[in-house]
Amino acid sequence: MLNFEILKTDGLARRGRLKGTHGETETPCFMPVGTLGAVKGVTWDKVEEMGYSLVLSNVYHLYLRPGLEVLKEAGGIHRFTGWKKLILTDSGGFQVFSLGKLMEIKEEGIAFKSHIDGSKHFFTPEFVVKFEEEAGVDIGMVLDECTPYPATYEYAKHSMERTVRWALRSLEARTTDATALFAIVQGGIYEDLRLRCVEELSRLPFDGYAIGGLSVGEPKDEMYRITRLVAPQLPHDKPRYLMGVGKPEDILEAVEAGIDMFDCVIPTRNARNGTLYTSTGRINIKSAKYKKDFSPPDPECDCFTCRNYSKAYLRHLYVSGEVNAVILNTIHNLHFYGKLMERIRKSIEEGRFAQFKEEFLKNYAETE
């Protein structure tokens, strides 16, 4: 059971609350990515301490490892992973599409070969729903056909239409409302296709709606244009999720358009590459200029890393290849994203989101 409540609006921006069996989360929210049932570099206690209560995982990856049977025998994904709060799983459509030559789309579903051992598999919309229900995830995404960028109008139309047919099949396959089901809007960068997709999916009783097929290589303007077009058209009383987005500035743009949920590998992946988010922009901790910089990564940040460690030490760990660099950088970046969302929520509550957005972007520059 998923309950969504809008507490306040400010322009199109929405301040809400999402409640499920495994707790609740305040929206707009960012979901840390835990593809394989773990957020790389941080244990669950740290994820929770940072204020997160909803994380993202992935059917494609969990299906291959550890497999549905293990998840079921463990008593579900929460028992297996040890994460006690909310879990949303992406269907894996995007991951399967990334396999390129290793996959083939048919009307029935997607045939693909495992990126691990080349073994053959077949995903149908029905199977993905079954997986999500049996694994006991709180929010499951339907299987969709992720339209690549660039794509011709014909291709985008075809894949959008299939996505709608698959969404319907997903609903029909549903056996419980213990796992909420979200639809995914496709249509590439074509406005009429996006709007038709919204129209068709909105008629169906989904628990939430996502915008897919963005942040797949298109120019930023296109991403913003489609988000601004689509978000306000989605059912007002249901949570809206912009998949795979994004950078702080992208999140601000999307919140302004009425998006409630986000996920992105950026904070965690960048942490592993030595890129840290700060109130004045990104920094790269590898830089020689930090060799003797004994100040914290962000003097305005109160995360575990900034309270205890200097740039010089983090740089030392990073250049020495110490695994602790991953841990400390990840904590910092996830804390930064958590705080950003907290400030976004507060500014909506206080009716000053536009002002917050402007101030944040003025201070924040993509410095490196």
List residues near a second copy by CB under 8 A.
Answer: 36-45, 65-66, 69-70, 73-75, 79-82, 291-292, 294, 304, 308-310, 312-313, 316-317, 319-320, 322-324, 326-328
120-123 sheet: strands from edge to edge: 103-105, 110-113, 120-123
Assess contact for 303 and 331: CB atoms under 8 A: yes
Is 47 or 167 the residue whose CB approaches a second copy more closely?
47
In the complex, the smallest distance separating the C-beta of residue 98 from a second copy, rounded to whole angstroms, is 17
- 90 tagged catalytic: yes
Is 62 or 245 the residue whose CB approaches a second copy more closely?
62
Is 105 or 319 the residue whose CB approaches a second copy more closely?
319
- Catalytic residue selected from 10, 90, 260, 298: 90
Query: In this structure, what DSSP letter does residue 143 have?
Result: P
Q: Amino acid identity of 245?
A: V
- Tokens 């400030």, residue? 343
In the complex, the smallest distance separating the C-beta of residue 48 from a second copy, rounded to whole angstroms, is 12
| Interior angle at CA 10, CA 6 and CA 14, nearest 5 | 30
- Catalytic residue selected from 144, 207, 263, 298: 263
In the complex, the smallest distance separating the C-beta of residue 49 from a second copy, rounded to whole angstroms, is 11
Tell me how crowded residue 106 is: count the other CB atoms within 10 A of its CB: 10
- 45 tagged catalytic: no
Is 73 or 104 the residue whose CB approaches a second copy more closely?
73
Q: Amino acid identity of 160?
A: M
| Interior angle at CA 300, CA 32 and CA 332, nearest 5 | 30
Cα separation, 86 vs 178, in Å, equals 12
Q: Amino acid identity of 290?
A: Y
In the complex, the smallest distance separating the C-beta of residue 338 from a second copy, rounded to whole angstroms, is 18
Q: What is the set of active-site residues?
A: 90, 263
